[in-house]
Structure 1
Amino acid sequence: MERRKATMIPLVSFVGYSNSGKTTLLTKVIRELKNRGYRIAVIKHDCHDFEIDHAGTDTWRHRQAGAEVVCIASAHQVAIVQTLTQPLALDDIIQGINNVDLILTEGFKQEEKPQIEVHRQGREYIGLKKNRIALVADQQIYTGVPYFKLEEVKEVTDFLENRIRLSKV
């Protein structure tokens, strides 16, 4: 596949409150998209701080020594850990992503990117927004928004595949 700029790569955010099923649905959709030959990037929003490095490794020791950016690279993968003074906007994060057909995010519900809300019965709905492109839930509650049941992974994937095709036109 040809290399495409990050700004041209379609992006869809899977949003919903904790334990709504976002990660479960997203992993199934990713597998289905991979089976169809697509290259996928995923960005997970974490409300808490996370630690990707482990005590005692060389990169951990570099960070402990004061490096603001530490990068580890091998023949097949690269990871960059950067200390931030303020949170990055999603648009800033995606600038470093290329050579994929679709960027999926989990979270980022405050961003105005296209969103698929994931909802499980007994949880609160986020509410209809102008950027809500679909609902995946136990029941349809929004009018005029495509609706899929939680187990309709192939149908959700078809919906995303159509967005990928439309972005190439």
Structure 2
Amino acid sequence: MRAFSLVGERREKSELVRRLVVELTGRGLRVSTIKRVSDALDLERPGSGTWKHRAAGAEEVMIASASRFALLREMPKDTREPDLGTLLARMAPVDIVLLDGFRRSCSPKVEVVPSRQSLAQLAPNDPMVLAVTSEGPVTAPVPCVPLSDNRALADFVMAHAMPGDPQPE
């Protein structure tokens, strides 16, 4: 599987990932995503049945229906976050996995720069940031792909996606 990350402080990162999924699946590619979230975010509704299973001590809880399933694994308090390779290994094979976040990974990245900002923050210090994208002009040591150009961004991602399972820095 190939992986590519979109990073930065911009809240529209998830919307950009969504647009790339539409563009790439429209080309006939199979696409999956992983979104990096804060530990403070609980993925379940407090009081639900599976939330109660986790609270009771279940290490893994799977919710399943005819249309989808999700696996939640409780990590011990002193456990480090799973590296990207471990997460990718748990996924079914697809053509590309788009990563929403994962700025510390060794995967290739595009930095999403807010329109009110004219200077890239991550690109100058991370050699894996291969381009930036924004609604306006950006000063960066890498090329800038217009945020509104889904086709060009998808072409860039596919041309630079890293094969295999990238390992953490």
Q: Which bin holds the TM-score, normalised by the shorter protein?
A: 0.7 to 0.9
Report the counterpart of residue 141 of structure 1 in structure 2: 139
Per-residue deviation, residues 43-88 of structure 1 (Å, max 9, x unmatched): 1111242222224433222123221211122233211111112221
Aligned-pair identity in percent equals: 27
Are the counterparts in 1 of residues 54 and 74 from structure 2 also a CA contact under 8 Å? Answer: no
TM-score normalised to structure 2 length: 0.81
Aligned-pair CA distance for 1:94: 0.9
Alignment of 1:9-158 (within 5 A): 9-19=1-11, 21-85=12-76, 86=79, 87-123=81-117, 125-128=121-124, 129-137=126-134, 138-143=136-141, 145-158=142-155
CA distance in 1, matches of 2:10, 2:38: 11
Number of aligned positions between the proteins: 157
| Amino acid in the other structure paired with 2:28 | G
Aligned-pair CA distance for 1:141: 1.9
CA distance in 1, matches of 2:160, 2:92: 18
Give structure 1 regions of 4+ aligned residues with deviation exceeding 3 angstroms.
Answer: 161-164
TM-score normalised to structure 1 length: 0.81
Q: RMSD across aligned C-alpha pairs, in angstroms?
A: 2.2
Change (3 A) 1:139 1:62: same
Which 10-residue stretch deviates more, 125-134 or 54-63? 54-63
